[in-house]
Structure 1
């Protein structure tokens, strides 16, 4: 898949992804929390599942790791426009994962997937960042 070669050549900071050795349509990604953010120091696993229609249809992408974020549902699915209505075949694995990494530091609480996280982000940032820090610390204990 050309996405894999491009991902390797892009050499993204804090992001890596590989296809499953038994199924090229399923990928596992590891994403480090961006530096100088509340997520710094965390390591998060994601799963990408591609459809036969890719790149005309976006992959299903979700966090496997526990995450507390306004735009991530409790089951790990991500509320991000480029994975839904704004999808375009020009997007690739690199752009998807870069967008998700950016979303970590710049959430959109007006389009919440996690109501509690969105409420805390808007009304009680201290508590929001406390919960994020806890998730970051727990991320190293996940298998």
Structure 2
């Protein structure tokens, strides 16, 4: 059993009775970790709030590590999770307040989606940003029209804001 599974089970063990969201979440968390992904639980007694650290292997953001906070509602998967980025990043699909433009969190949300699918969606944003559906219009314009300046700004943000 890996360390992530032990952490999940330790958090679950504190609760007397897991609700339906927690049972599903436990299963999904087992599948969510892959290369370049780490999970942590800042609140020892709360499996429904966790941090996903993504370290892209390729693309503009490959030199960075990015922390996303997942908050899972009690009626999940009926209600979608709240996902925001904690690390400041220069990205067309992520705004300065931490909001993330991910279609499966909006119009394309389905109760059958797993945590690993949300993580994969976040990873994909770092591989293929979509400047045609921006939350940060300035970053999107720079991405399209000034690629060298865009990369310089990305690198500056990584240097200033990414965890080491």
Q: What is the aligned partner in structure 1 of residue 152 from structure 2?
A: 130
- With the length of structure 1 as denominator, give the TM-score of the two structures: 0.88
Q: Structure 2: which 5+ runs fail to align? A: 1-21
Question: Is 1:77 aligned to 2:99, yes or no?
Answer: yes
Question: Is 1:111 aligned to 2:133, yes or no?
Answer: yes
Q: Say if 1:95 and 1:107 are closer, same or farther in 2 by CA, change over 3 A.
A: same
Larger strand share, 1 or 2: 1
Total equivalences in the alignment: 140
Larger helix share, 1 or 2: 2
| Cα RMSD for the two superposed structures | 1.7
Q: What is the aligned partner in structure 2 of residue 22 from structure 1?
A: 45
Q: Matches of 2:123 and 2:32 in 1, distance apart?
A: 15
Q: Matches of 2:58 and 2:81 in 1, distance apart?
A: 29
The one of 64, 82, 98 equivalent to 1:60 is: 82
Q: Which has the larger radius of gyration?
A: 2
Contact kept in structure 2, 1:4 and 1:18, CA below 8 Å: no
Q: Matches of 2:121 and 2:28 in 1, distance apart?
A: 16
Deviation of 1:15 (Å): 1.1
Q: Structure 1: which 5+ runs fail to align? A: none
